[in-house]
Structure formats: C-alpha cells, structure tokens
Structure 1
Amino acid sequence: MVVGGGIIGLCIAVALANKGVEVILIDPESGTAASWGNAGHIATEQIAPLASIATLRQVPRRYYGFGGAMDLPPSAWKTWAPFAGRFLRASGRQNFARGQDALRGLMAEALPAWRRLAAALKAEDVLREDGHLVLWEHAATAAAGARAWQSADIGSASVQPAAREDLDRLEALLGHRPPGALRFAGSAQIADLDRLRGRLKSAAMEAGVTFLSGTARLERSGRTVSATVEGRAVAPGARIVVACGIGSREIMGEAGHRAPLIAERGYHVRAQSGGWPSDLPPVVFEDRSMIVTGFEDSVQAASFVEFNSPDAPADARKWDRLERHVSALNLPMSPPFRRWMGARPTLPDYLPAIGVSSRVDGLAYAFGHQHLGLTLGPITAELIADALAGAPETVPLAPFDIDRFH
C-alpha cells in the first residue's frame, strides 16, 4: 500500500507493481502536490543541502520584504520558528558536509533512474537532456554568480560559460544580451508534467495498481500498524509506504515517528507561449530567483520559498511579482496567466527521509524531498522497492533514516 499520489508515490507504486507486488495507492487528490506545479527541472547540480552557513549568510538579501524570494510571514511565526531552530542546528559545517556526501551519492543515480523510468513508460521523449541556463542581468552579480557556480561542487553535472550561440538566442528572446550566463550539462527537464502524470497513472493501472481516493490514517498497536481511509480499514496486514509529501508529518506521527516537516510553499504563473523557443532549456534568472521553463504547450515562471502552513491562503502578491518579472523581462508569455501555489515538503537538514521503519513492522517512508522531489522520484522508488524486497542497497540509506530526528 502506498500513501500519496505525487511523483514519489506514483513512482513507488509503479516500481513495486513491476516487481509483482499487489499495490493499492491512496491519494486525497488535493491538486496541490508540489510534484505537478514545479519547474520541471531535473536538478542534478543541486547536491549542496540548503541547510548551510552559506544559506544563512544570504538570508538578508533573499528576504521577501527586501525584494528576495524567501518569506517568513510574521503571522505564521508559530509554524516556522520551531523549524528555524532545527535548521540552525543542521547548518553547521560537519552536518553540511555529511549531508552533501549523502546527496552526492543519491544525485549521481538520479538521471540514470529517470532514463530507466522513461524507457519503462515508453515515453523517452518526456525526458529532455539539454541541461539548463543560468543568467544574470547585472555585470557585478554575473561575475560573482559565475565564480560561485564554477567553484561549487555540482556532482555529476558540469558548467561552463554560455556559448555564443546560447547568448545569441537569449538576446533574441530578451531583446538585449545578458552580461553573463552559464550553460549547465548533465541536468535535464520534463517536457510536460501533465503528460508525465498521465503516463505514470496509466502505467500503474496497466501493472494492476488499485487507486483509492481519500485521506489515510495509521493506527498503531505495538509493532503493528494498519491503515484506514475515511474511517474504513484498508488491506489489513499490508505493508505501507508513506509518501504523501507535507501530509507525511501527521501520518508518521501516528506510527510513532517524528517528522518535523514544514511546507516550503512555491508559486508559479503559467501561460500560453507567445514565442518561447520550443528547444530552449529551462532558464534561471538568478538575480530574480526565478526559473522559466517551456513545456509542450505553455511557458511557466516559478519562484519563492514561503515558510507557512500548507493550508494558509495563498499570497497573491507573489503571483503579482512574478507577473511583473515576466513583463519587465519582456518574456514571450501571453496572458491570461494561470496561477498556482504548492507546498514543498522540507525537513530541517534539507535531506529526504527514505527508508524502512525501525519502530514498527511493515512500514516504509519516502518524503521530505524539498526542491528535489521531481529529480529524485525514480531513484527513490527504486531504493524503496529494493529495501522492501531485502535487496542490497545501491545507495546507502542510513543518512536518510527518519530516526535522525529522534
């Protein structure tokens, strides 16, 4: 049984069903899963946990009130203050180094796992391996940003100054030549998130997965745990995988685990393409902390890290700011804009929780992937399927054990 129908849950359901396991997938169908509103970027370059001294130093200039993309709403201080304390403790140099080593091993397998999944889905064209571009609008930030990226540990990805051809294309797009840009290789993009979701659901159904809509709860008795949906028992004695994003905090608590997740809410605006090149990879406008992605039938601009309750009303000012960015950059996005907000599930050390419970029998978990859920979905699914089958680990799971928070 898999609880959660986002990218992580669907990938796990498919991986288990393809191994001959009878799978029930339970999903509340809330429509706000971060999986289906992200930037579509397979971010293999992001192996440095955001719980770091470097991030702490950047807080003032990244604060939303000063024009940045990170927001700590004063009205939500009871939500984010406990997380902030845990984040500070996780940001020490030794913790950061351990986290980076753990993410490096996981990220090295991310793109190969995506290739395997795309082939299994018979949808190889859903994965575009064209890298991505990062640009700056000011000479000073371009010089500093390029130095930072070119000296950073980016794992299996690589980076170099954008070629003349890239700069020519950006100039044609923006109406001016950016003062600095980098081209990353070894990263990738999903061509269309809706098509990916549909293909995953179809593959799951073809493999015999049963879909059940509703909110799951766990009931624990000693070392035994069982699931109910809307108060009704479901598959007594079945093994359970918790992969329901921000909802995993409550359901893992019912099983006796502490999962100090917070909702890192992101926003996007999407519109029909007004001339965005179909073969242009994702473009990061680093001065604005915004990534723009061309999908098969639309263009999307995404940004913001808002620490808040997942159920709090959306902040329309953030959509307004995104639309102002689009206008200021003269991007070929044709209104009306479709507005979306979703909650990234984030743990204080910015590492996911992946593993099998040591406290109750028959319980596994996969959540807390923060900005990397899309990137790590297929490899997480492979690791969970192997762990439940008792197969050898291809990536050490000890750093991702949820008991690190006890």
Structure 2
Amino acid sequence: MNQTRNEIVVIGGGAVGVACALWLRRDGHQVVLLEPGDIAGQCSYGNASTFAEYACSPIANPSVWSNLPSLLFSQDSPFVIRWSRLPQLLPWLMRFMGQCTQEHAKTNAKRLARLLRQTYSGYEPLLDDAPSARALVRNNGCLYAYTTEKGLRGAQADIAQRRSLDIEQEVLDAAGIEALEPAMAGQSVGGVLFPRSCHLRDTQGFIQALAAPMIADGSLRRGHAMRLQSCSDGVHIHCDDGSTLVADRVVLAAGAWSTQLAASLGEKIPMDTERGYHVEFELGRELLTRPTCPVESAFYMTPLANGRLRAAGTVELGSLRDPINPARIRYIEERVRKVLNIDAPVSHRWMGFRPTLPDCVPVIGPSREDARVIHAFGHQHLGITLAGATGELVAAHVRGQAPEWLGEYSASRFH
C-alpha cells in the first residue's frame, strides 16, 4: 500500500480548508491540502459571494414555530423539505426545533457574533500574501430590503439584537434603499444597510488566488478521503485510489461530507445538509452595486464580474444524492425578475450542499475520539464569511494558544 507521511493534512479545498491550510503554513507547518476536485468547487463556489459579518441571527429561532405550517407544506416558501427524506431528517429536525427557543437562539447568536468579529482579522494576513485575491473584494456594504410592512416589523427584534451585539447597521426607509440601489425603486418599504460588509466579484477565483502558493509548490494533493483511522504512528487517511496519507494532525474541513469522516472514527455529529441554489443572469451591466437581499424571499442578489448577477439562497432539506429541484430554481428566478424587472435569460443554474448543525453554529476544535483530528466544518451560510476566522482559530489551537471560549464550539456540545 502506498503511504506518505505528513505533518498536517487538511481535508477539503473549500474556503474553510484553504484558510486553515494557509494559517498553518504561516506558522511554519508542513501542510498538505487534500481535495478530490477543483479548489472551491462545491459549496464555496455557488454561494452569495458576501462577507456577512453581521449575520448573527440563527435560522433556528422562535419564529420557526409560528411559520411551521408554511415551512412544512408550502412549496412557495424559502424553506422547504423533501418529504421523501423526512424519516432520515427527523432526528436532525427534532434537534433543530429544540434550538428554536428564545434562550437557545440568544446563546447561538452570541456565539456566531463572537466568530463574526474575526471575519476581517482572519482574512487580512492572507490577503496581504495574495494581492490578486484582494483585488476581487468590493467594500460597498450589503443591503437588506423588506418588501412588506409586516416583514419590516418582524425584523425589529433582529435589528435590536444586532445593536446589542455592537454590529454596525443603518436602518433605512424606502427612499434610503432607492438612493443606494435605484433598481430597487418601488420594491421595498425600508431596510438595513450593513456598511462593513464586502462582496467578491468572483468567489471561486478569490479562493483559488488564495490557494495559488499551495498549488504552485505541490502542497495540493488530489484525492478523495474515504475514512480516517487512529493509529499509534498518526492518523491514517484512506483514499479512494487505495493510497493512505499518515498525518500527525488532520484538519477536517470537508463541508457536508465531514460527518461521514468523523463517523469513521466513531464520532457521531448531528449535521445534515441544506441544499442551496443559485441562478445567474448575464446582464452585461452592473444593475446593483452591492449584495441586496429581498428578505422575505431569503436570497441575495449579488453583482459579479463581467456584468453577471447571481441570486443565491433559500433552504431545502434533502439528501446529498437527490437531483436538483427545478421548483427551487423557478422560485428564485421568478422573484428576481419581479423585483428587478429584468428579462435577460438565465445563464447558469447551480445547487450545492451547506453543512448545517441544529444550532446553526459551526464545529471548531479537536475531535472527542482523537484530539489529533481538528474539526472545522458546519458553517451553514457563513463558510466564506468565517473561513479566515476559522483558520486563525485552528492555527491557534495547534500552537496551544486557542482562546478558552473555543470549547463552546466543540462537537462535545451535542453529547
């Protein structure tokens, strides 16, 4: 059997895995990044391209209870469930609903806010080393636009919560929304501007630019990790081609596939998959200048390079194996056309897998089964946003300088 010895292997070439690898390299570690496909080819490719440093409100919150009938039974909803998957989803759904209390939502919002404060400090040194990645960042803020008075009234609790957590925001009326984004004229009753938010002109290009030094020096290895094995000489990573990588430490950052690898060590982590969608239009011009979210529809409209507009979001609970759901694509497309009054054809459709834990907070820290394995997954909608912060925390843990509060993000919270 072909075996190679490594100091640290990071499994997963998405935003989080790349950031973890880069932070560890900055500390002088020999790092291999193990990825079966393209860098940022999965969930990190198709997201809303936004650094959402304000997004501390977990989806698991008390409003879920009042909206439960529409969530369960309406296909014209931003949150849908594939009924064929319900038996498999029930354990996760029960844990999720258990988090939909005022107390849990408040705790989880604080945990998310604490990570979100490191959004930019986590990226800054990485961007210093990658000017081509920095060139893809636009700092125009992000806009929430509420289309109904009911929606705006319902947002007041979230606005107050962000204020209590010192998250910068500016509450706007309809005229304020229109002044920032004329294309939204007549489409909102008010909203919120998050002035510190940034967006990316090309998400995959941004992450690939960050990863370029690892690609150039051969630190990227193509391979699909199938299972992990704890051995006296290190952690063995068995790959689908029959090869084995032996590592002193492993960082598990494989997104939606991470729990399968954790389970091979005997660790059960209650993570499931949100299937996210996006639709792109080739407009040939920049219709919006910043990510804009018609909040009641639960997707972002983000201007990308070369006149592209990406609308990304919504939630579908289903399997990693289920095909794309055309109804989700139609849901987004129809609403974008209505809001922005565009008739350009759809140029691209995509579906990807968001790794989601019941409390909507990622798992960061050592495995309970083998402390040489470090978890870095479950970021749900915040993978791009929190990648740098996660890498910074993982590197701090490896050097023995992790903050004491990092223990709150351990998978042990589910046991």
Q: Same fold (TM over 0.5)?
A: yes
Equivalent position of 1:106 in the other structure: 115
CA contact (8 A) 2:177 2:190 kept: no
1:289 matched to which residue of 2? 298
Task: Please give the per-residue CA displacement for 1:333-366, whole angstroms capped at 9, x wherever unaligned.
Answer: 7324200000100011111000022421421110
Aligned counterparts of 1:177 and 1:351: Cα–Cα separation in 2: 32
In structure 2, the partner of 1:4 is 12
The 3-state SS of whatever aligns with 1:235 is: strand
Compute the TM-score of the two structures, normalised by the length of structure 1.
Answer: 0.90
Q: Structure 2: which amino acid aligns with 1:376?
A: L
Match of 1:356 in 2: 366
Residues 13 and 254 in structure 2, CA contact (< 8 A), matched pair in contact too: yes
Shift of 1:160: 2.0
The residue number in structure 2 matching 1:389 is: 399
Contact in 2 for aligned 1:34/1:344 (Cα 8 Å): yes
Q: Which amino acid aligns with 1:230?
A: D
Quickly say closer, same or farther: Cα 1:103–1:321, change in 2 above 3 A: closer
Q: 1:262-315 CA distances to partner (integer Å, 9 max, x unpaired)?
A: 11011110121243346x110001132221000112110112201111111111
Give the count of matched residue pairs: 402
Q: 2:30 aligned with 1:19, yes or no?
A: no
Q: Secondary structure at the match of 2:340?
A: coil
Farther off after superposition, 295-304 or 150-159: 150-159
Q: Distance in 2 between matches of 1:158 and 1:66?
A: 35
Specify the SS of the correspondent of 1:152: helix
In the other structure, the counterpart of 1:167 is 178
Counterpart of 1:264 in structure 2 is: 274
1:200 and 2:210 are equivalent in the alignment: yes
Distance 1:127 1:13, change over 3 A: same
Which deviates further from its counterpart, 124-133 or 360-369? 124-133
Contact 1:18 1:207 in 2 (8 A): no
Task: Please name the residue that 2:136 is paired with.
Answer: 126
Secondary structure at the residue paired with 1:82?
A: helix
- Pair 1:16–1:9, CA change in 2 (3 A): same
SS in 2 for 1:359: coil
Q: CA RMSD in A?
A: 2.5
Secondary structure at the aligned position of 1:310 is classed as coil
Displacement over 4 Å in runs of 4+: 61-64, 163-166, 221-224
Report the TM-score when normalising by structure 2: 0.89
- How far apart are 1:86 and its partner, in Å? 1.1
Equivalent pair of 1:276/1:333 in contact (CA under 8 Å): no
Q: 1:246 to 1:233 in 2, by over 3 A?
A: same
2:96 corresponds to: 87
Give the aligned residue type for 2:198. A
Give the Cα–Cα distance (whole angstroms) in 2 for the partners of residues 384 and 187 of structure 1.
24
Q: Distance in 2 between matches of 1:185 and 1:137?
A: 20
What CA distance in whole angstroms lies between the structure 1 residues aligned with 2:343 and 2:213? 33
In structure 2, distance between residues paired with 1:89 and 1:385? 32
- Provide the secondary structure at the position in 2 that maps to 1:44: coil
Please state whether the residue corresponding to 1:386 is helix, strand or coil: helix
Give the C-alpha shift of residue 231 in structure 1: 5.2
> Does residue 1:36 correspond to 2:39, yes or no?
no
Q: 1:175, CA displacement in angstroms?
A: 5.4
3-state SS, counterpart of residue 310 of structure 2: strand
Q: Tell me the CA shift for residue 16 of structure 1.
A: 1.4
Deviating more after overlay: 243-252 vs 202-211:
202-211
- Structure 1's unaligned 5+ residue stretches are none
- 2:60 pairs with 51, 69, 72, which one? 51
Mapped to 2, the partners of 1:95 and 1:45 lie a distance apart of 19
Question: How far apart are residue 233 of structure 1 and its match?
Answer: 4.1
Aligned equivalent of 1:314, options 306, 311, 324: 324
The CA deviation at 1:57 is: 2.8
| 303-312 vs 54-63, greater mean Cα deviation | 54-63
CA distance in 1: counterparts of 2:367 and 2:284, whole angstroms: 49
Structure 1 position 165, deviation (Å): 6.1
Distance in 1 separating the partners of 2:41 and 2:68: 27
For residue 106 of structure 1, give the secondary structure of its aligned residue in structure 2.
helix
Alignment-derived partner of residue 405 in structure 1: 414
C-alpha separation between the residues in 2 aligned to 1:69 and 1:398?
33
1:339 aligned onto 2:349: yes
Q: Give 1:77's match in structure 2, choosing from 68, 86, 92.
A: 86
Q: 1:158 to 1:64 in 2, by over 3 A?
A: farther
- Decide which moves more: 251-260 or 130-139: 130-139
1:140-198 Cα deviation digits (max 9, x unpaired)? 434x145344323254432223375641353x314536332322222221222122122
Are the counterparts in 2 of residues 32 and 343 from structure 1 also a CA contact under 8 Å? no
Distance 1:405 1:221, change over 3 A: farther
Deviation sequence 1:59-114 (CA, Å, 0-9, x none): 33455716211011111112321111111223334333332222221111112222
Q: Which residue of 1 aligns with 2:224?
A: 214
User: Cα offset for 1:401?
Assistant: 0.6
